[in-house]
Amino acid sequence: MIARTAGPQQLRTPEADLEYLILGSGEPVTVFAHGLAGTMDELRGMAGGVQGTRVLFNFRGHGGSTCRPEAVNGYAGLADDLRAMAAHTGARRILGLSMGASAAVRVLGQQPNRFERAVLLRPTTLDTPLDTVARREARAVTEAAERGDLSALQHFVTQRIPGTHRRQNSALDLIAARVDVLTSPGGRATLAAMVTDTPRTPPARLREVGTATLVVGVLGDALHPESTAQRIAAAVPGSELHICRTPGAAWTRRAHICELAVSFLNEPTAPGLAPAA
């Protein structure tokens, strides 16, 4: 039984203190893994439609989660956070967004049957670094964060939102929240690691995955290349792939992506698929 309180709780691991929040009750238990410079709040709306218990948490260096000075800041550390939270709460389902999706891929590459259902939204990378354009962009943001250049960081986050959505309250809140994370010590450390790090999970490792998996990619986003989504879907047996071809789909097709994810997570799992790890 998961202990549920009215507000956030803390899970202490060997490297980090992870902030998390429990919503709902009963089975199944689904853990939600946010993206770089995001927090658990960005997935709260999507989690609302998912049946059972929902576990929202912040990765190390994000929100109210911290890590020890000697902690690893790349995908290895993020995968450890995800694995620890899933074990602590008994989660057998996972929704990962961006960095969170790639962290989930690392876990699946190491423990092919850890989850029974997985939704991977706009994964960033698999086993190769970001391309030259994306690395240049990521380095520029890293340097701005190290300088504490709030204007440059706001510009970067704003430019990734379609113009028609930038004045919405949800967009303004997201911009402020992401700048806060990027200027925090933990956020800067994670960002710096992400410039060159990968989950180090070659497709061959995913061929043994026994998880019912939905992979959602988008066109025209250097930080979330469609090729990453395609390679993951091609490697995971029986997985479903959906590519959003509308520009700025993360915003303009947000309701559609949410519907895809929620419907997939709410499906029953076939008997015998992904036995408990």
Q: Are 9 and 55 in contact (CB under 8 A)?
A: no
Neighbours of 219 (CB within 10 A): 13
Q: State pLDDT tens for residues 143-164.
A: 999 999 999 999 999 999 999 9
Q: Are 126 and 198 in contact (CB under 8 A)?
A: yes
Q: State pLDDT tens for residues 195-231.
A: 899 999 999 999 999 999 999 999 989 999 999 999 9
Crossing angle of helices 132-147/150-159, nearest 10°? 150
Question: What are the structural domains of the chain?
Answer: 9-129+200-265 (3.40.50.1820)
So what's the pLDDT on residue 272?
A: 53
CA-atom Rg of the chain in angstroms: 17
Tell me the C-alpha distance between 73 and 17, whole Å.
Answer: 14
Is the model more confident about 98 or about 246?
98
The β-bridge partners of 57 are 20, 33
> Span 242-267, mean pLDDT?
95
Q: Residue 41 carries which side chain, given as an amino acid letter?
A: D
Q: Is residue 109 over pLDDT 90?
A: yes
**3-12, 33-42, 105-114, 127-136: segment of lowest average pLDDT:** 3-12
Give the CA distances from residue 208 to residues 22, 122, 189, 202, 271, in Å, rounded to whole numbers and listed in that order: 31, 22, 33, 12, 17
Question: CB within 8 A of 174, min separation 6: which ones?
Answer: 42, 157, 161
Q: Is residue 188 over pLDDT 70?
A: yes
So what's the pLDDT on residue 3?
A: 61
Sign of the CA dihedral running 42, 128, 193, 245: negative
So what's the pLDDT on residue 211?
A: 97
Q: Give the chain's mean pLDDT.
A: 93
> Span 93-109, mean pLDDT?
98
What does the chain come to in residues? 277
Q: Nearest-CA neighbor of 239 among 77, 72, 141, 112?
A: 112
Q: Is 142 helix (H, G, I), strand (E, B) or coil?
A: helix
Give Cα 126 to chain centroid, integer Å.
13
> Span 182-198, mean pLDDT?
92
Give Cα 277 to chain centroid, integer Å.
21
Q: Is residue 174 over pLDDT 60?
A: yes
Give burial (CB, 10 Å; 0-12/13-18/19+) of 256. Answer: middle
Q: Is residue 234 over pLDDT 60?
A: yes
Q: State pLDDT tens for residues 40-95.
A: 999 999 999 999 999 999 999 999 999 998 888 899 999 999 999 999 999 999 99
Q: Nearest-CA neighbor of 32 among 12, 49, 16?
A: 49
What ranges make up the beta strands (E) of 111-264? Answer: 117-121, 212-218, 240-244
So what's the pLDDT on residue 70?
A: 87
Q: What phi and psi values does residue 198 have, to the nearest 5 degrees? A: -140, 165
What's the count of helices (H) and strands (E) in the chain, helices before strands?
11, 9
